[in-house]
Structure 1
Amino acid sequence: MTRLGTIFHPGLAPEALLPAARAADEAGLDELWLWEDCFREGAIASAAAALGATSRVRVGLGVLPVPLRNVALTAMELATLERLHPGRTIPGLGHGVQGWMAQAGARAASPLTLLREYTEALRLLLAGETVTVDGEYVRLEDVRLSWPPQGPVALHLAGEGPRTLELVGALADGLVVPGGYPPQRLRTVVGRLAAGAAAAGRTRVPEVTVFVPCAFGDQGRSRVEEHRREHGIPASEPVCEVWGQPQQVAEGVARLAAAGADSVALLPLGDLGPREFARAAGEVGALLASG
């Protein structure tokens, strides 16, 4: 069954995170996803706080921009989270928004090469291996974690371009899809993932997590239309948001599940606070579970 979660938007202040995390946990949601938008909350610190404040919900990092961190540091941080809260962290990696990477002095000439080298090295480090590599971007000499995770860690990558999707299919355990994908486009993405996996000789296609803007309530449609205007999305673009009462939202999530989504994370739109939004999302989860 498709997993359901919510997103903590980094437009909210850090002190709003713990109530949102506890609300997602109490509502029975499967996942809480964090965004590491520059220059707002740091994802690792936020994930540690959210995991420590909850007992069961999994926390997704959607996503860590790899140009900002040395891969050894990322391995250390992810290993620590995994050992403290086994099986509850979903690491996501991505190119980062290129304008932000330039602002931080970290923009790579070849983001795809960096992501490939980074993912390969990170997987080896998290597996407890001693890693020496002299790549174009990633350079390590006899690096080994003292406290690697005690089990496998599934790495998710984010991206939209055909070459990135091919890379995800070849290397990753999952794909993080940004908001705004209608079912038809999602089917195309899943097909490209499958092709990338097959080309790499893999029998398992990476799972897919989709971020979906969501507005609960009778005014949901108008809030979605407002969101589109704010972000310059033409009204003629295919519908990729969900809105309305929990039953209507559940139907929209089910359409994405049928198109290949293994996990759907709802991005709150509208005036509901984190607790109210989580409760409504919990109702959606119950409807999906009941078929």
Structure 2
Amino acid sequence: MTGLGAVFRPQLAPERLRSVAELADAAGLEELWLWEDCFREGGISTAAAALAWTERVKVGVGLLPVPLRNVAIAAMEAATLHRMFPGRPILAVGHGVQDWMGQVGARVESPVTLLREHLVALRALLGGERVSTEGRYVKLDDVALDWPPAEPVPVIAGVTGPRSLRLAGEAADGTLLTASTSPEGVRRARQLIDEGRESAGRSDAGPHPIVVYLLTATGPDGAARLKAELAEEGLGSVPDLGVAGDAGAVAKAVQRLADAGADTVVLQPTGDEPDPEGFVRFAAEEVRPLVP
């Protein structure tokens, strides 16, 4: 079955999150995703609140920028969430937007090297290992978590470029793709991820799920809002991006991504979505029944 989720976008004030999270939980939505966009809302703080306010919905953070987070702190935060809310947090890490990283003095010369070192160390720490490493960016001296997750937890890489997608296959347990990814882009990403898995000898290491955002607009002005946001992002001429329409149209777009290799599709409302609670209800009650 294709997983389905929705995004709470950080263009909304943090105090709006509770009503959206509680509605997602009550409506039966599988996953609610949050963003740590500079300089809006913290990913771990909002995830912890959403998890505490709900009982069953999984809460994803897509993504935590690794230049901003010492890997030991990232592991402590992730382990704490997983122990308090077993099976429900989903955390993705990635390069972050490089301009934002530069604004806070955290931009690095080799983002791919940093992400590789971070992924390897984070997976080891969350696996209960004691880690010493002297990398270019990640340096740990006899570090282990006192409270690692009680069960193995996946570490997801949020990446886009070919080198980073191969790295996701080599060193991550899953991959998060942005809403600028078309069905053909998902196919290409799967190919690159599989190349990375093969090069690292991980082809038989179990499934490597792909999560992809789908820019979605519904309602009478949905097509106009979708067109405006794609244009604002410089993606207006890219074919097969986003969907506007009713539940049937959205479900067909979800299925195209699933057929291309996505395991979970997360509906991303436009930044000016007028009814965030209604959008979550639409995803859970109208689109979900139409997605196999």
The normalised TM-score by structure 1 is 0.96
Alpha-carbon separation, structure 1, partners of 2:176 and 2:169: 12
Structure 1 alignment gaps of length 5 or more: none
RMSD over aligned CA atoms reads 1.2
**2:232 corresponds to:** 230
State whether residues 168 and 206 of structure 1, in contact with CA within 8 Å, keep that contact through their aligned partners in structure 2: no
**1:275 corresponds to:** 277
1:286 aligned onto 2:289: yes
SS at match of 1:286: helix
Q: Which amino acid aligns with 1:160?
A: T
1:262 aligned onto 2:263: yes
Alpha-carbon separation, structure 2, partners of 1:118 and 1:228: 32
1:60 aligned onto 2:60: yes
Q: Deviations over 1:107-148 (max 9, x none)?
A: 111111111111111111111111111111111111111111
SS at match of 1:12: coil
State whether residues 166 and 195 of structure 1, in contact with CA within 8 Å, keep that contact through their aligned partners in structure 2: yes
**1:214 corresponds to:** 216
SS at match of 1:96: coil
SS at match of 1:265: strand
Alpha-carbon separation, structure 2, partners of 1:30 and 1:36: 20
Q: Which amino acid aligns with 1:85?
A: F
Alignment of 1:18-97 (within 5 A): 18-97=18-97
Aligned length: 288
**1:136 corresponds to:** 136
State whether residues 219 and 244 of structure 1, in contact with CA within 8 Å, keep that contact through their aligned partners in structure 2: no
SS at match of 2:93: strand
Alpha-carbon separation, structure 1, partners of 2:170 and 2:234: 34
1:240 aligned onto 2:247: no
Alpha-carbon separation, structure 1, partners of 2:247 and 2:274: 14
Alpha-carbon separation, structure 2, partners of 1:272 and 1:257: 28
Report the Cα offset of residue 154 of structure 1. Answer: 0.3
Larger mean CA deviation between 85-94 and 266-275 belongs to: 266-275
Report the Cα offset of residue 249 of structure 1. Answer: 0.6
Structure 2 alignment gaps of length 5 or more: none
SS at match of 2:244: strand
Report the Cα offset of residue 205 of structure 1. Answer: 5.0
Q: Deviations over 1:233-271 (max 9, x none)?
A: 23x320210121111111110111001111111111254
**2:126 corresponds to:** 126
Alpha-carbon separation, structure 1, partners of 2:166 and 2:230: 30
The normalised TM-score by structure 2 is 0.95
Alpha-carbon separation, structure 2, partners of 1:159 and 1:126: 21
Identity %: 50
1:176 aligned onto 2:179: no
Report the Cα offset of residue 182 of structure 1. Answer: 1.4
Q: Given the superposition, is the C-alpha separation of residues 103 and 172 from structure 1 closer, same or farther in structure 2, using an over 3 Å criterion?
A: same
Alpha-carbon separation, structure 2, partners of 1:106 and 1:7: 26
Alpha-carbon separation, structure 1, partners of 2:100 and 2:169: 26
**2:167 corresponds to:** 167
SS at match of 2:181: coil
Alpha-carbon separation, structure 1, partners of 2:141 and 2:234: 47
